[in-house]
Chains A and B, each alone.
Chain A
Amino acid sequence: MSDSQGPIWEVFVQKKAGQPFVHCGSLHAFDKEMALQNARDLYTRRNEGMSLWVVPSAAITASSPEDIGSFFEPANDKVYRHPTFYQIPDAIGHM
């Protein structure tokens, strides 16, 4: 989508080095630098993160709601895919 405010970008924030980038919202911007600056001003005002990604929304390919059945439901009855049948030694800690 594009209008007088520029195209939409998706913003991902990383809280600390090593952690995943988490989607936190979207914004309008005309170019990469502006998207990055707007993301900084909109989403990191309260120390939310140490690193930012901005991605043009148009570059994201998403599954559609109609896909839920064929995409995700087949996984419902395949509990053996969860690694819950293994004993994890205490020494390993959180996985």
Chain B
Amino acid sequence: MNHLFTYTLRLADNALVLGQRLSEWTGHGPFLEEDLALTNIALDTFGTATSLMEYAAKVEDKGRDADALAYRRNEREFTNILLVEQANGDYAKTILRQVLVDAYNVLFYTELAKSKDETIAGIAQKAIKEVSYHYRHSSSWVIRFGDGTEESHNKIQDALNELWRFTGELFEQDETELTLIKQGIAVDSKAFQSKWEKQLDELFAKATIKKPETVFMQTGGRKGIHTEHLGYMLSEMQVLPRMLPDAKW
């Protein structure tokens, strides 16, 4: 098993699926400024996805390029975590999904930039500044929703209740991770789990919202077992390259 390929593809899938979800807001944002803000974040995320996908293709070395990986794999072959594929819902839900990922990504990419794999370290280095800004954007919105009106408070609290059960996967480790952590290539995400939780607890306190207390953490994304949302998203994302293979425009 090619652990480096598996690992790189997981990271690429996370970025690609999240980028696709965010881009669904383009032209539908709550107002012009926010529409552009989210589109910017989607673009940053696609940029990271592209770099990672290209590297995954290179590492695999089986003649598949980044486009083949993005557009010609089925749902069961996608290895992203379940959190990023969750439907956008209302703006509060999109923002809450984003803050969970952004807080994680700041810590994750900071560590990944120290990877012994130079390409991965380079991609991570570039991503750090971007995800730091994404966190600033999403966290300020969480507070704004939380201590805003009763309606906005309820919306962000509902989003947290619904999405928290997908956060367990952020810290899962299997043979691929453990092998690559030993080699100094992958990030030991468990090492910063408590820091991530503390940071979010502080944010949620400011936003006057609460994490659900007993939650059964969902899992499966990295094995290709997805929620029903991913299939619909992929069919929209892949329709053109599937209908007109190798089309150029």
Main DSSP-derived SS at the B contact region: helix
Q: B248 CB to closest chain A CB, in angstroms?
A: 27
Segment at the interface with A among B9-17, B31-39, B97-105, B111-119: B31-39
A37 and B31 contact, CB distance less than 8 A: no
B33 and A31 contact, CB distance less than 8 A: no
A28 in contact (CB, < 8 A): yes
B31 and A5 contact, CB distance less than 8 A: yes
A34 and B140 contact, CB distance less than 8 A: yes
What are the interface flags for A39-53 relative to B under an 8 Å C-beta threshold, 1 for contact and 0 otherwise?
Answer: 011100100000000
In the complex the two chains form, what is the Cα distance from A8 to B37 in whole Å?
17
B33 and A27 contact, CB distance less than 8 A: yes
B140 and A28 contact, CB distance less than 8 A: no
From A30, A31, A37, contact of B137 by CB (8 A): A37
A33 in contact (CB, < 8 A): yes
Q: B29 CB to closest chain A CB, in angstroms?
A: 11
A29 cross-chain contacts in B, Cβ below 8 A: 33
Please report which residues of chain A, range 1-48, place their CB below 8 angstroms from some CB of chain B when the two chains form the complex: 4-5, 27-31, 33-34, 37-38, 40-42, 45
A45 and B40 contact, CB distance less than 8 A: yes
Q: B140 CB to closest chain A CB, in angstroms?
A: 5
In the complex the two chains form, what is the Cα distance from A73 to B177 in whole Å?
75
A40 cross-chain contacts in B, Cβ below 8 A: 133
Q: A27-B33, A28-B31 known; A37 and B136 CB under 8 Å?
A: yes
B144 and A31 contact, CB distance less than 8 A: yes
Nearest residue, chain B, Cβ from A30: B144
What are the interface flags for B123-167 relative to A under an 8 Å C-beta threshold, 1 for contact and 0 otherwise?
Answer: 000000000010011001000100000000000000000000000
A37 and B40 contact, CB distance less than 8 A: no
From B33, B40, B133, B136, contact of A28 by CB (8 A): B33
In the complex the two chains form, what is the Cα distance from A79 to B71 in whole Å?
70
Q: A38 CB to closest chain B CB, in angstroms?
A: 4
Q: B7 CB to closest chain A CB, in angstroms?
A: 32
In the complex the two chains form, what is the Cα distance from A33 to B37 in whole Å?
13
Nearest residue, chain B, Cβ from A37: B137
A38 cross-chain contacts in B, Cβ below 8 A: 33-34, 36-37
B37 and A41 contact, CB distance less than 8 A: yes
B32 cross-chain contacts in A, Cβ below 8 A: 5, 28
Nearest residue, chain A, Cβ from B30: A5
Please report which residues of chain B, range 1-54, place their CB below 8 angstroms from some CB of chain A when the two chains form the complex: 31-34, 36-37, 40
From B33, B140, B144, contact of A41 by CB (8 A): B33
B31 cross-chain contacts in A, Cβ below 8 A: 4-5, 28
B140 cross-chain contacts in A, Cβ below 8 A: 33-34, 37
B40 cross-chain contacts in A, Cβ below 8 A: 41, 45
Nearest residue, chain A, Cβ from B143: A33
**A interface residues with partner B (beta carbon < 8 Å):** 4-5, 27-31, 33-34, 37-38, 40-42, 45
